[in-house]
Amino acid sequence: MTDWKTAFGGFGNRHILPLKLKWEQMSLRERRLLSVLGGILALYLFQVSVETFLVTPYQQYREEEHSLKSDIFQALALSREIRQSQEKIRERSRTLAEDRGGFSLISYLEQEADRTHIRSAVTQMTPRALPPDGNYHTTLVSIRIEKVDLPHILVFLARLERSRHLIRITRITLERRFDQHRLLDVRIDVQSIQSS
């Protein structure tokens, strides 16, 4: 215990005593100036410690919270997309089940041509079975329509695009007739998908 007191007393005599003597030798003005500088230094150290121990962790917490919120919103958007995709899959599965064995693409195209008043302009329908894809078989029908105006073709195509059956238009070729410029010759490839 005595060694500790001796060591501490030696440190005080060596470092603190000279500072005390210098303080007593300073004028009142110098002491005030030094007190102001000490106060500024103390405020600066206080500010640094507040930023280090309070502000920086709070900012990190806020950034983590923002990142977490962003991740949650992305997860919600992804969940919504998954539900929409599942609903589309269910809808397509119902359509496939309804069409199973009872859907003819050629008959459907003939009905739509009748409804859009271009049945008399249809000159050719060529069906072709494509290689099966898993549990589904695909049929392609090339339909040729001659001497038809653009509004009728657009209505026909719109009806095909809005079909409840699983069909899609894979190719359209439009050629203006040389003898009647307001009429077109059209070739359309339509593909249907059905479960085997």
Q: For position 5, what pLDDT does the model report?
A: 56
Is pLDDT larger for residue 105 or for residue 95?
A: 105
pLDDT tens digits, one per residue of 167-180: 888 899 988 888 88
Give CA separation, 32 vs 44, 100, 151, in Å: 18, 98, 95
Left, alpha or beta for 147 (phi > 0: left; psi -120 to 50: alpha)? left
Q: Using CA atoms, how far apart are residues 89 and 85, in angstroms rounded to an integer?
A: 6
Is pLDDT larger for residue 133 or for residue 48?
A: 48
pLDDT tens digits, one per residue of 21-79: 777 777 888 878 888 888 888 888 888 887 777 777 778 888 888 888 888 999 889 88
Q: For position 107, what pLDDT does the model report?
A: 87
The answer to whether the pTM exceeds 0.85 is no
- Give the gyration radius of the chain's Cα atoms: 43
